[in-house]
Amino acid sequence: MITADLTSRVALVTGGASGIGFATARLLAQCGARVAINDRKDSPRLSDAAAELKADGLDVVIVAGDVGDPQSVEAVVAETVKQFGRLDYLVNNAGTAQTDTPIPPEAMDRLDEAFWQQILSVNLVGPFRCTRAAAAHLKVARGAVVNTASFAGFGYPGSSVAYAASKAGLINLTTNLARALAPGVRVNAVAPGLIRTPWTARFGQSWEDQSVQRTCLKRAGTPEDVAEVILFFLAGAAYVTGQTLRIDGGMS
């Protein structure tokens, strides 16, 4: 595990109750950061995630809210700053697939207007909302933003055409947010491939096995694999902005 001294730093991690978000919140807190864990109020994991980290002596708080709701996003950022007095790092990790099984590209009739609207609102507009709400605080701190995109954003189907399109948009948004917040705030993205999380577990073992065979490293990634790269972009990579790094075991 890589590490860094993040004492006095404050991070907000959206979608932080499980998977990549939880691993990132834990790693940042282990490095000394104070961390606001965001997830939807109805998330069954949110309270348990915070309790688990607090039991390890880590400085975390719950800041519930939905990144798909503009007013909720403003409140999440405001509450984080109220709790900790500043904001240095924003991890836009919250996302949705809106399906329990992958939808093949040819099944266009399954991608109705409501499906597209929810995918884009959470996966693409959500990170913009959060970054816009946090921008003034991040500029004061000369902080950093990391967006969780996906290898699907590079032309792979992912869980659906809509999901892949939302992540492709997020990769482009990352580049343009880097321009918008320069020179004081760096903005980068990670693009995970197959990462073994409760989210991907819904797609079944056969889907995972096929995905693993397409990697060079012949294993599924872990949330911790992604968290380490997010830490690198936040605490290091001082001359890197506007970039997206694939974390896919060589799948692409």
Active site residues: 163
Instruction: Kindly calculate the radius of gyration of the chain based on its CA atoms and give it in whole angstroms.
Output: 17
Residues β-bridged to residue 131: none
| DSSP at 149 | -
SS3 annotation, 163-177: HHHHHHHHHHHHHHH
* Rounded distance between C-alpha atoms, residue 75 and residue 247, angstroms: 32
Token couple for 249: 């075991």
Dihedral of CA atoms 89, 164, 168, 119 in degrees, nearest 10, equals -60
Indicate the DSSP class of residue 206. Answer: H
Please tell me the distance from the alpha carbon of residue 174 to that of residue 186, in angstroms, as a whole number: 10
Residue with tokens 């959470």: 122
* DSSP, residue by residue, 53-114: HHHTT--EEE----TTSHHHHHHHHHHHHHHHS---EEEE-------SS---TT-GGG--HH
